[in-house]
């Protein structure tokens, strides 16, 4: 029983990781999120898109009105999902 558990645990952990999206996202889809309008982000849109299209998600260090925040962007079938988290 323990060996069975030991075999399935790494499989479950890998399944929980984010995967690359089926279709590549474009700059237009990234700009529709509005993150470059409302936040100060040091990363270029090209590098952000590259990370999303490769890993399925990206976490950015950003500023909003002199407050430091994290922006998490997930690439889903429905489109890009943005979460803003205060540091």
Each domain of the chain, given as residue ranges in start order, spans 18-86
Query: For residues 44 and 84, what is the distance between their CA atoms, to the nearest angstrom?
Result: 18
Question: Tens digits of per-residue pLDDT, 6-31?
Answer: 555 565 455 445 667 778 999 999 99
Tokens 């429905």 sit on residue: 78
Query: For residues 21 and 56, what is the distance between their CA atoms, to the nearest angstrom?
Result: 6
What is the average pLDDT across 69-82?
94
Encoded tokens for 50: 């590259």
Is the pLDDT at 71 greater than 70? The verdict is: yes
Encoded tokens for 79: 């489109």
Question: Tens digits of per-residue pLDDT, 25-64?
Answer: 999 999 999 999 999 999 999 999 999 999 999 999 999 9
Alpha-carbon Rg for the chain, nearest whole angstrom, is: 16
DSSP 84: E
Residues in the chain: 87
């Amino acid at each position: 029983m323990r060996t069975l558990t030991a075999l399935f645990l790494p499989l479950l952990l890998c399944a929980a990781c984010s995967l690359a999206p089926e279709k590549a996202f474009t700059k237009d889809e990234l700009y529709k999120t509005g993150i470059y309008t409302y936040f100060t982000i040091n990363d270029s849109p090209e590098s952000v898109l590259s990370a999303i299209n490769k890993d399925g998600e990206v976490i950015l260090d950003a500023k909003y009105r002199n407050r430091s925040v994290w922006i998490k962007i997930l690439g889903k079938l429905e489109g890009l999902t943005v979460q803003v988290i205060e540091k």
